[in-house]
Amino acid sequence: MSNQRIATPDAPGAIGPYSQAIDTGAHVFCSGQLGLDPATGALVGEGIAEQTERALQNLGHVLAAAGLGYGDVAKTTCFLLDMADFAAFNEVYARFFPEPPPARSTFAVAALPKAARVEIEAIAARPSGS
């Protein structure tokens, strides 16, 4: 099967030469989501909690466009502007993923697009037989 682009107007459009997600059949590789309002392209708030909430909502819309949900996510990679935000980030993040939560890596970075505080990317697996 060839790669299929996943796109939804319910999440912010790509701000560069990439897809919101790529579906390979067995897996869906979701590009990083920022805490952007899909309608305006502007960041929602300045705090980590607001931006994490919106980034995860955006991720959920991309997953839904692929026919998947948070429970199908096997791995996330999370980028934080400041590791001092780690606890507040975790508080919001934990509300979105059912048990068992996905594997995860979290890094502090020097900067993110649009001066965001957080970016979250994911790899989801299609259930067997889908």
Q: What is the mean pLDDT of residues 42-64?
A: 97
- The 3-class secondary structure across the chain, one letter per residue, is CCCEEECCCCCCCCCCCCCCEEECCCEEEEEEECCECCCCCCECCCCHHHHHHHHHHHHHHHHHHCCCCHHHEEEEEEEECCHHHHHHHHHHHHCCCCCCCCEEEEEECCCCHHHCCEEEEEEEECCCCC
**Six token digits for residue 3:** 């790669």
pLDDT-above-70 percentage for the chain: 98
Domain count, the chain: 1
Question: Which residues, including other chains, have CB under 8 Å from residue 90's CB and lie 6 or more apart?
Answer: none
Q: What is the mean pLDDT of residues 73-79?
A: 98
Query: What confidence tier does 130 reach under pLDDT thresholds 50, 70, 90?
Result: low
Q: What is the mean pLDDT of residues 95-110?
A: 97
Q: Are the CB atoms for 28 and 6 separated by under 8 Å?
A: yes
Query: What confidence tier does 6 reach under pLDDT thresholds 50, 70, 90?
Result: very high
CATH code for the domain of 41: 3.30.1330.40
Domain range enclosing 63: 4-125
Query: What confidence tier does 16 reach under pLDDT thresholds 50, 70, 90?
Result: confident
Residue 130 covered by a domain: no
pTM for this entry: 0.95
Query: What confidence tier does 1 reach under pLDDT thresholds 50, 70, 90?
Result: low
Give the sheet arrangement for strand 4-6, strand by strand.
4-6, 21-23, 27-33, 118-125, 73-80, 103-108
